[in-house]
Amino acid sequence: MTHPLIAREGWLVLLAAFAAALIATWLLGWWSIPFWIWAAFALQFFRDPARLPPADADAVIAPADGRIVVVEKVNDPYLEREALKISVFMNVFNVHSNKSPVDGEVKGRWYTPGRFVNADLDKASTENERNAVWIRSARGDVTSVQIAGLIARRILCYVRIGDKLARGQRYGFIRFGSRVDVYLPTTARAEVSIGQKVTGGRTILARW
């Protein structure tokens, strides 16, 4: 099956943006430039390039494009365990398609309404709107949490309990700036550091 270059979540937005730009050009001439800038921004935001995950069986891969903002041992609030937490912050210029970090089966899912503070802040993990997916892999349990940000107003998740996921498989999307937290068993070893840029579906976050 051919991978779409543009995320399906953006098709209506793009149609509206380019239609508005064309109409503005017809009515306003050069004054239509802001409409074209918005259409170009929407086009780059909703891009969804195909990614081939690394073949390394020990690898846990990044669930999203962005920058690492947290690497630490914390309590996983969903599975109530000590865990290694790795957080990826996405700005509005990153690809916002979310990928499964591991091969496994979806064992649980939790949606929590909340605020929309800057997703770059630590409190976003506990205060913002979020959707957590518990994936049971052959190596251990992983919790992947989609978190809305300052601009983001919609989290989309397409998996249900019992679904099987492959590493790098697309499972959701967050509209505009946001964050994804990954909780791993403490036996996992982080392969990234704070400030590092990562590519969803490709960069190795940690190894078992």
Contacts of 119 (CB under 8 A, 6+ apart): 89, 90, 128, 147, 148, 149, 150, 152, 177, 178, 179
Alpha-carbon distance of 206 to 204, in angstroms, equals 6
pLDDT value for 167: 93
In CATH, which superfamily holds the domain spanning 59-207? Glucose Permease (Domain IIA) (2.70.70.10)
Does residue 178 carry a catalytic annotation?
A: yes
pLDDT value for 1: 43
pLDDT in tens, 105-158: 999 999 988 766 665 667 767 778 889 999 999 999 999 999 887 665 578 899
Confidence of residue 3 (pLDDT cuts 50, 70, 90): low
pLDDT value for 117: 62
Identified catalytic residue from 32, 100, 178, 193: 178
pLDDT value for 176: 66
pLDDT (mean) for 81-93: 93
Alpha-carbon distance of 134 to 117, in angstroms, equals 24
What is the spatial order of strands in the sheet that 59-61 belongs to? Answer: 59-61, 204-207, 189-190
Contacts of 41 (CB under 8 A, 6+ apart): 92
pLDDT value for 171: 93
